[in-house]
C-alpha cells in the first residue's frame, strides 16, 4: 500500500498524503468502487480493470511516482513504450490504454485533476482479426456427440444446443436459473453485461433438448434438490465456466475439428449463420447483447467473405 493518510469524503477510499497530494493507489481504488456501485459493471470487468490499472501503478512506483498529479503524458508514453519493448501485442496495449483513459476521465470529472494526461494518446493500430466460425456441418457433428442415454449427456446436449440457438456468452449460460427458461413460450431471459436483461428466442430443437434434460437428466444430477441453477455438475451444484470449458474441449477432441473451439466459437457461429441466412444486423445485435452495433458489424465482414467465395465458385466470369 502507498504511504497515504485518509480523509472522510463521500467515498471510503479517497486519500491524500501528508503534502496534500492525491494518492494514486487510493484514487484507483475509488475508480473501481465507482465502476462497481455507480455503473454496476460485472465482477469479471472489475477484475480486468483492477489488473490493468495495477500494472500501471507498479510502473509508476518503479519511477518514484505515487501521487496522481505526478502522472503526466511523458510518463504514460514511457509506460506504453515499456509495454511494447516487453512484447505486448497492439491489442493488449490498446486495452491497457483504454483503462487509463477511463480512469483519468473519472479523475478529471471528480476534479482530482484539471486535465487528462492521456487525452492525446492514441491506441496502436490493430489489424481486425475475424473470429473463426464453424460450418453448419461441423455444428451438426458437435451437437450430435453427447450420449443422451445418461444424465450428463442430456445436460451437455441441452447446453450445446442452447449455446448455438441463442449465442449467449459462457458466463451467461452457466448463470441461467430454472426461472429464466420459458420453454412453452420459446425464449430465455439472459442477464448480460452490466446487469442488462435481454430476451432471446430459443428454437424448437434447443427447447426440446432442455425439456428432455429437465425431465430425465437434471433430476438425477440434483443431489440436494435445493439448487436453482439450470445446469448442474456431477455433484449437484451449478456448473462453472471452467467445467463447461472442459466439456467443450472434450467434444472438440472427439469431433477432430481442426480449428480451436471455445464457447465463444459457438457465439460467433450463431451470429454468422443468422446473417448468412438473411437476419438483419439490429436483431442480431439485440440477441448478442452488444451495446454498440459496431461490435456486431464484424460478422458482416464474415458474410461478405462468404458471398465472395460463392461468387468466385459459381460465376462463369469470376
Instruction: Answer yes or no: 258 catalytic.
Output: no
- Domain map of the chain by residue range? 5-109, 136-314
Q: Which of 34, 267, 268, 273 is catalytic?
A: 267
Q: CA 145, 201, 230: angle at the middle one, nearest 5?
A: 60
Better-predicted residue by pLDDT, 269 or 155: 155
Q: Residue 190 corresponds to which cell in the numbers above?
A: 439472459
5-109: CATH, from 1.10.150, 1.10.10, 3.40.50, 3.30.530: 1.10.150
136-314: CATH, from 2.60.40.1120, 3.30.70.260, 1.10.10.410, 1.10.443.10: 1.10.443.10
Instruction: Residue count of the chain, please give it.
Output: 318
Q: Which of 26, 218, 273, 290 is catalytic?
A: 290
Q: Give the sign of the dihedral formed by CA 111, CA 114, CA 119, CA 121.
A: negative
Alpha helices in the chain (DSSP H): 24-37, 43-62, 73-85, 90-109, 136-143, 151-166, 170-174, 204-212, 218-221, 241-255, 263-276, 281-288, 293-296, 298-314
> Which pLDDT does position 2 carry in this prediction?
40
Give the Cα separation of 318 and 312 in Å (integer).
Answer: 5
Q: Residue 257 corresponds to which cell in the numbers above?
A: 475439428
Q: Residue 181 corresponds to which cell in the numbers above?
A: 427458461
Tell the residue number behind the cell numbers 456486431, with chain if given. Answer: 296
174 phi and psi angles, rounded to 5 deg: -75, -15
67 DSSP β-pair partners: 23
Instruction: Answer yes or no: 301 catalytic.
Output: no
> Which pLDDT does position 251 carry in this prediction?
93
Instruction: Answer yes or no: 264 catalytic.
Output: yes
Q: Residue 228 corresponds to which cell in the numbers above?
A: 436453482
Which string of b and e fits 231-253 if b means at least 16 CB within 10 Å?
Answer: bbbeebebbeeeebeebbeebbe
Cβ-Cβ contacts under 8 Å for 106 (sequence gap 6 or more): 31, 34
Q: Residue 1 corresponds to which cell in the numbers above?
A: 500500500
Give 93-141 pLDDT, tens digit per residue.
Answer: 888 999 999 999 999 999 889 999 998 887 665 555 666 788 889 999 9
> Which pLDDT does position 128 carry in this prediction?
56
Tell the residue number behind the cell numbers 443431489, with chain if given. Answer: 223
> Which pLDDT does position 304 carry in this prediction?
60
Q: Which of 128, 48, 34 is nearest to 95 (CA)?
A: 48
pTM, entire model: 0.58
Instruction: Answer yes or no: 315 catalytic.
Output: no
Q: Which of 55, 101, 193, 237 is catalytic?
A: 193
3-state secondary structure of 215: helix
Instruction: Answer yes or no: 112 catalytic.
Output: no
Average pLDDT value for residue range 6-22? 51
Average pLDDT value for residue range 256-264? 82
Give the Cα separation of 27 and 31 in Å (integer).
Answer: 6
> Which pLDDT does position 211 carry in this prediction?
95
Q: Which of 34, 169, 218, 273 is catalytic?
A: 169
pLDDT above 80 for 31: yes
Instruction: Answer yes or no: 109 catalytic.
Output: no
Amino acid at each position: 500500500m502507498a504511504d497515504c493518510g485518509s480523509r472522510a469524503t463521500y467515498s471510503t477510499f479517497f486519500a491524500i498524503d501528508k503534502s496534500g497530494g492525491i494518492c494514486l493507489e487510493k484514487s484507483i481504488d475509488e475508480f473501481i468502487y465507482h465502476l462497481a456501485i455507480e455503473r454496476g459493471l460485472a465482477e469479471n470487468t472489475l477484475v480486468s480493470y483492477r489488473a490493468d490499472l495495477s500494472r500501471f501503478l507498479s510502473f509508476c512506483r518503479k519511477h518514484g511516482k505515487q501521487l496522481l498529479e505526478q502522472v503526466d503524458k511523458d510518463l504514460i508514453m514511457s509506460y506504453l513504450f515499456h509495454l511494447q519493448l516487453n512484447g505486448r501485442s497492439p491489442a493488449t496495449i490498446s486495452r491497457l490504454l483504454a483503462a487509463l483513459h477511463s480512469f483519468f476521465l473519472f479523475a478529471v470529472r471528480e476534479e482530482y485533476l484539471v486535465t487528462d494526461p492521456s487525452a492525446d494518446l492514441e491506441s496502436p493500430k490493430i489489424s481486425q482479426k475475424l473470429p473463426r466460425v464453424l460450418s453448419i456441418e461441423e455444428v451438426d457433428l458437435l451437437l450430435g456427440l453427447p450420449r443422451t442415454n445418461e444424465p450428463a449427456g442430456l445436460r451437455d446436449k441441452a447446453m450445446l444446443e442452447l449455446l448455438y440457438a441463442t449465442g449467449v456468452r459462457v458466463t451467461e449460460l452457466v448463470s441461467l436459473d430454472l426461472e429464466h427458461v420459458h420453454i412453452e413460450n420459446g425464449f430465455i431471459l439472459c442477464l448480460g453485461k452490466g446487469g442488462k436483461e435481454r430476451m432471446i428466442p430459443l428454437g424448437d430443437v434447443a427447447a426440446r433438448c432442455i425439456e428432455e434434460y429437465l425431465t430425465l437428466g437434471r433430476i438425477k444430477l440434483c443431489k440436494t434438490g435445493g439448487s436453482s441453477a439450470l445446469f448442474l455438475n456431477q455433484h449437484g451444484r451449478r456448473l462453472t465456466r471452467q467445467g463447461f470449458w472442459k466439456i467443450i474441449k472434450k467434444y472438440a477432441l472427439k469431433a477432430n475439428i481442426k480449428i480451436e473451439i471455445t464457447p465463444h466459437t459457438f457465439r460467433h457461429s450463431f451470429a454468422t449463420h443468422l446473417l448468412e441466412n438473411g437476419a438483419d444486423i439490429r436483431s442480431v445485435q439485440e440477441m448478442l447483447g452488444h451495446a454498440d452495433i459496431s461490435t456486431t458489424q464484424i460478422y458482416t465482414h464474415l458474410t461478405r467473405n462468404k458471398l465472395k467465395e460463392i461468387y468466385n465458385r459459381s460465376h462463369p466470369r469470376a
